[in-house]
Amino acid sequence: DTAVSQTPKYLVTQMGNDKSIKCEQNLGHDTMYWYKQDSKKFLKIMFSYNNKELIINETVPNRFSPKSPDKAHLNLHINSLELGDSAVYFCASSQAGVQTQYFGPGTRLLVL
Amino acid sequence: GIQVEQSPPDLILQEGANSTLRCNFSDSVNNLQWFHQNPWGQLINLFYIPSGTKQNGRLSATTVATERYSLLYISSSQTTDSGVYFCAVSTGGGNKLTFGTGTQLKVEL
């Protein structure tokens, strides 16, 4: 059973398009995260939700909008995609009071 | 914000060799995790170790929180150990992980 899953795994799109990435966890965790890994493999947090409430919102363009319909899902919608948005986006989850974060397989986004 | 430095940045080993990877951090932490990013890009949890010592098979880790560093030991390395090893820490509330720049490990036959 996959603990943290993401769809799609690969996404190739044109500049200016709008796209969404979905994340689901079946670990029963109440906190979920989005991280971005750039071409130099540097990983940086973007957002975090706890029980559907936004608790971390790093300096990210407002073209990026996370949505958490329930505590098992955290989606990332990106408007007006730019070349610089090309990266690998990782979803992660953890349980409040237990620090360990578990990561999904990543979504490789390429903007042409 | 907290700074996380990893060394060495690159490491090439012969199969069977041992190695030590280091992570230095600039502030007190309440979470420290070691990850292995395999050649397919998957981030695999190795240890949650904000302090103390843990072992899992050929891997072990030690964090000396008072001196703000953590070490990851890999013994009898195998080609499947190749990839990037990340240290990540958080401090304060929110459990926001700050990642180091990683150690790229290549194990050769």
A43 to chain B, any CB pair closer than 8 A? The answer is yes
Q: What is the CATH number of the domain that holds B79?
A: 2.60.40.10
Would the CB atoms of A101 and B101 count as touching at under 8 Å? no
| CA dist B81 → A13, B15, B64, B105 (Å) | 33, 9, 24, 8
Q: What's the CATH superfamily of A4-106? A: Immunoglobulins (2.60.40.10)
pLDDT tens readout for residues B85-102: 999 999 876 688 999 999
A34 to chain B, any CB pair closer than 8 A? The answer is no
A54 to chain B, any CB pair closer than 8 A? The answer is no
Would the CB atoms of B95 and A48 count as touching at under 8 Å? yes
Residue of chain B whose Cα is closest to the Cα of A40: B101
Which residues, 6+ apart, have CB-to-CB distance to B103 below 8 Å? B6, B7, B8, B9, B10, B11, B21, B84, B85
Would the CB atoms of B95 and A106 count as touching at under 8 Å? no
The total of structural domains in chain B comes to 1
pLDDT tens readout for residues A8-38: 999 999 999 999 999 999 999 999 999 999 9
Span A42-59, mean pLDDT? 89
3-state secondary structure A70-86: ECCEEEEEECCCCHHHC
- Provide the domain limits for residue B40: 4-108
